[in-house]
Structure 1
Amino acid sequence: MDVVFQTEQAVFNYRVAGIWIENGHVLLHRDVNESNWSLPGGRVSIAEDSQSSLRREFREELGIDIQIDRMSLVIENFFEYRERDFHEIGFYYDVTAKKNFASFDEKPFYGIEGERLIFQWIPLEGLDQVDLHPVCLRASLQKSQPHIQHFVVK
């Protein structure tokens, strides 16, 4: 069971995501029915720690094992989606593949779950060309910081 619950006021969501940068590109994904991009990851399950959750999500979506290097960002994100208010807490980790990942190509591709999610390596210098959410990611991905950054996005 995911750590997500609905109240009359908003939906609360606890999410983890991986910041995977290769060759000056970052891996993003989006739902095939949406235009906005995000970092790969997903919801944390009850009684699951955030790093285990992120490893599970990468195995489920891409069939790969990742190395988690460090926590990079904590984002408190408040947004509206499908006419509902959301309050999301996100932990963002720098990650790499444990083994060579054969799909480094700038062309879009699907994960192993089928054609629900589209993945693509986007140049870091081209992030202003995509509808990336949360919006604070554009600037923070282009400048690596030695400490954890915290953002509140309303």
Structure 2
Amino acid sequence: MEHNCAIINDKKAFRYRAAAIIVEDNEVLFAGNEVDNYYYSIGGAVHMGENSEEAIKREVYEETGVEYEIDHLAVIHENFFVGSSGLEEVDCHEIAFYYMMKPKGNKNLNSQSLTMGGVKESMHWIPINELDKCKSYPTFMKEFLESEHSGVEHIITYERD
């Protein structure tokens, strides 16, 4: 088993994550599952000894069944939120590198993905202009995708609700 770059100690957690932004036909790809009532970005923990580019290629393939190529690093996201570890709430601090992936020109996926807890994940193409109508994380995604950028954005969010 690979060791994730994460620390959980005394109801506080830190994790290092790689995430993908995959856009086709003005829709962005998010994941969902049978337990959580929200959508979330494609990606996951960077493993010890693995760089974020290797991690996102691995994670995207694991979740979609499709090999996507990286276009560029788009966002470094510092996120502060309340998560769960089993039945306990955990105060989380996450650093995520969001990579814009090169479009494939189609939305065919072969997803057989499971969450770390073993729950089946499903992939969802969400129209960018409707992202604010559903509960999805990260919360910056709609605004980010609807605006122009040069270089890497640094975004800090406090998503403790």
Give the shorter-chain TM-score range. 0.7 to 0.9
Moved over 3 A (4+): 99-102
**How do 1:34-113 and structure 2 match up within 5 A?**
34-82=36-84, 83-96=89-102, 101=106, 103=108, 111-113=111-113
Q: CA deviation at 1:7?
A: 1.7
| Amino acid in the other structure paired with 1:135 | T
C-alpha distance in structure 2 between counterparts of 1:101 and 1:21, whole Å: 10
Distance 2:98 2:47 in 1: 16
Q: Matched residue of 1:126: which SS?
A: helix
State the TM-score, normalizing by the size of structure 1: 0.87
Q: List gaps (5 residues or longer) in structure 2.
A: none
Q: Which amino acid aligns with 2:80?
A: F
Structure 1 residues 20, 12: closer, same or farther in 2, change over 3 A? same
Q: CA deviation at 1:92?
A: 0.2
Where do 5+ consecutive residues of structure 1 fail to align?
105-109
Worse-superposed segment, 122-131 or 135-144 = 135-144
The 2-side partners of 1:35 and 1:102 are apart by: 23
- Equivalents in 2 of 1:38, 1:102: separation in Å? 18
Aligned match of 1:7: 9
Q: Distance in 1 between matches of 2:142 and 2:105?
A: 26
Q: Deviations over 1:119-141 (max 9, x none)?
A: 11111111111111121222112
Stretch of structure 1 that moved more, 12-21 or 140-149? 140-149
Q: How far apart are residue 37 of structure 1 and its match?
A: 1.2
Paired with 1:46 and 1:27, the residues of 2 have a C-alpha distance of 26
On the 8 A contact 1:132/1:138 being kept in 2, the answer is no
Superposed CA RMSD in Å reads 1.9
Aligned residue-pair number: 148
Q: CA deviation at 1:79?
A: 0.3
> Are the counterparts in 1 of residues 15 and 94 from structure 2 also a CA contact under 8 Å?
yes
Q: What is the Cα deviation at residue 113 of structure 1? A: 2.9
SS at match of 2:136: coil
Percent identity over paired residues: 28
Aligned-residue offset at 1:93: 0.5
Is this contact kept in 1: 2:24–2:105, CA < 8 A? no
TM-score of the two chains, using structure 2 as the length reference = 0.84
Aligned residues of 2:16 and 2:96 also touching (Cα < 8 A): yes
